[in-house]
């Protein structure tokens, strides 16, 4: 991942991210939709992996895009537009996770109790997957056994991620799952690169026993979920207390 303003366009006349954002600020009614559509799948992946919940991820992504739409004029241009968008999405996810932690202390109304299938609400049961939904759908038909293994692996990794402090989770999602460099993740999280390295290192140390336990329960080393080691196995001069969450 590089800090560029969007992928190389097949059409040389297609505007880059900065041009689209400027056009939106000037009043172009379509520019922001084009910009969001260009990066929607990756923004969705970051939101889903950070929150660990499709409904929360969808709400956080919506909050983030409304915020970006309204605050586009405040973009200073000292980072890539994609960095700016990811920063807003990560902030929205962290805000929702903090609010969710508070809500969990309160009793749930009857309408929000899990149903027979384990879904939390009718809205969750009706969440659509595919084009236009914000949830990418696979274009290939996979073997059901492979899908089951992949689902189990993803579920194990996401469940393990939920045990981490929010800031460690956000750093690991960006670096180990989305492929951002430590420097790019630091720009998104608005903290020092050493802080990102420290958060990743601490997060990996906490995840490892959980993933090893899953591998032992599954009995198949090849199917075990793995968190890549990446470049941040050492603290590199940062601590979890430095920089704080992006604001």
Determine the pLDDT at residue 137: 43
Q: SS3 string of the chain?
A: CCCCCCCCCCCCCCCCHHHHHHHHHHCCCCHHHHHHHHHHHHHHHHHHHHHCCHHHHHHHHHHHHHHHHHHHHHCCCCCCHHHHHHHHHHHHHHHHHHHHHHHCCCCCCHHHCCCCCCCCCHHHHCCCCECCCCECCCCCCCCHHHHHHHHHHHHHHHHHHCCCCHHHHHHHHHHHHCCCCHHHHHHHHCCCHHHHHHHHHHHHHHHHHHHHHHHHHHCCHHHCCCCCCCCCCCCCCCCCCCCCCCC
Q: Could you state, in order of their start, the residue ranges of all structural domains in the chain?
A: 1-7+14-106+129-137, 142-238
CATH fold, domain 142-238, is: Arc Repressor Mutant, subunit A (1.10.10)
**Per-residue pLDDT tens over the stretch 205-230:** 998 888 777 665 554 444 444 444 43
pLDDT digits (tens, 9 = 90+) for 108-129: 444 443 433 344 433 333 333 3
More confident residue, 33 or 151: 33
pLDDT at 244 over 90: no
**Domain 1-7+14-106+129-137: top CATH class:** mainly alpha
């Amino acid at each position: 991942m590089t800090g560029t303003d969007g992928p190389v366009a097949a059409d040389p006349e297609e505007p880059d991210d900065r041009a689209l954002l400027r056009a939106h600020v000037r009043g172009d009614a379509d520019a922001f939709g084009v910009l969001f559509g260009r990066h929607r799948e990756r923004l969705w992946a970051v939101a889903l992996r950070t929150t660990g919940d499709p409904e929360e991820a969808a709400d956080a992504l919506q909050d983030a895009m409304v915020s970006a739409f309204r605050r586009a004029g405040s973009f200073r241009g000292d980072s890539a537009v994609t960095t700016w968008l990811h920063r807003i999405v990560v902030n929205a996810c962290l805000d929702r996770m903090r609010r969710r932690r508070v809500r969990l202390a309160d009793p749930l109304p009857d309408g929000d109790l899990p149903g027979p299938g384990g879904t939390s609400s009718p809205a969750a049961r009706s969440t659509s997957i595919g084009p236009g939904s914000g949830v990418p759908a696979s274009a290939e038909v996979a073997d059901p056994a492979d899908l089951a293994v992949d689902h189990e692996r993803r579920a194990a990794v996401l469940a393990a991620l939920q045990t981490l402090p929010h800031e460690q989770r956000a750093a690991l999602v960006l670096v180990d799952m989305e492929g951002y460099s430590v420097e790019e993740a630091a720009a998104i999280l608005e903290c020092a690169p050493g802080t990102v390295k420290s958060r990743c290192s601490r997060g990996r140390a906490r995840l490892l026993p959980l993933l090893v336990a899953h591998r032992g329960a599954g009995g198949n080393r090849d199917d075990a979920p793995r968190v890549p080691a990446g470049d941040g196995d050492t603290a590199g001069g940062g601590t979890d207390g430095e920089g704080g969450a992006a604001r």
